[in-house]
Amino acid sequence: MRPTKLKEMCYAKDTMIEIELKFEIENTERIIQTLKEGGFVSKRERTYEKTVMYDNPTNLMQVTDGRVRVRQSGDRVEFSYKIPITRSGIKQELEHEVVVSNFSELEKILEKMEFTPTTSYERYRTELEKDGMKATIDDYPFATFLELEGPEDKIKTAAEGLGFDLKDNLTDSCDTLFTKWRQERGLKPVPHMRFDDYQRENQ
């Protein structure tokens, strides 16, 4: 492949530290309305996403608490590595990410490097933004969550303005929360979270 083609296939964003708050929500429409009344504007309408996590035979990601992740969001494919800086209080993570052109070809590359899928999940994501903050509403098969990302003081103020108690902030990943949700209902753990086949509480 010619070097000039590389720019057409992927680009990288600067390494960044994510600072975020996460809360479980029930009334999505009310949250969106309140965010907009507080000055947030729509960045992306509700979009289907598929995310796959990978690890190698030495379980490097599990041992180091890191994540190698490929995400399909509409026509966009993101390849990222993330690792927590802290999980106490406000969640902070170090993240490296590139956008690539082809999900299946990236999977083949990872396979050749002995990274294989470990878990996956589906969701619908809605994004809003305001003054350097990002609000995302993620509808998973088992629950819906609001994430506020940005400067710590701003997201704390935004969360409290929405009526949340900062003590209710969630620092676990969505797949960990899904596993806990199933355990609370006496359901066996499953590696993949799909809208079509997950077990609801009343099943």
| Residue 42 Ramachandran class (φ > 0 left, ψ -120 to 50 alpha, else beta) | beta
* pLDDT tens sequence across 169-192: 999 989 899 999 999 999 998 999
Within-domain flag for 147: yes
Highest mean pLDDT among 5-14, 16-25, 82-91: 16-25
pLDDT tens by residue, 28-37:
999 999 999 9
Give me the percent of the chain exceeding a pLDDT of 70.
89
Per residue in 121-144, pLDDT tens? 999 999 999 999 999 999 999 999
Q: How confident is the model at residue 46 (pLDDT cuts 50, 70, 90)?
A: very high
Residue 107 lies in a domain: yes
Most confident of 11-15, 83-87, 110-114, 196-200: 110-114
> For the chain, where are the alpha helices, taking DSSP H only?
3-9, 28-37, 60-64, 103-112, 152-161, 174-184
Q: Is residue 1 part of a domain?
A: no
Q: Where residue 158 sits, what CATH number does that domain have?
A: 2.40.320.10
- In 3D space, the residue among 58, 123, 142 whose CA is nearest the CA of residue 68 turns out to be 58
Q: Tell me what pLDDT residue 31 has.
A: 96
Q: Please state the φ and ψ torsions of residue 40, each to the nearest 5 degrees.
A: -75, 145
Is residue 90 domain-resident? yes
Report how many domains make up the chain: 1
| Domain assignment present for 138 | yes
pLDDT digits (tens, 9 = 90+) for 56-83: 999 999 999 999 999 999 899 999 999 9
Domain extent at residue 73 = 10-193
On average, the pLDDT of the chain sits at: 88
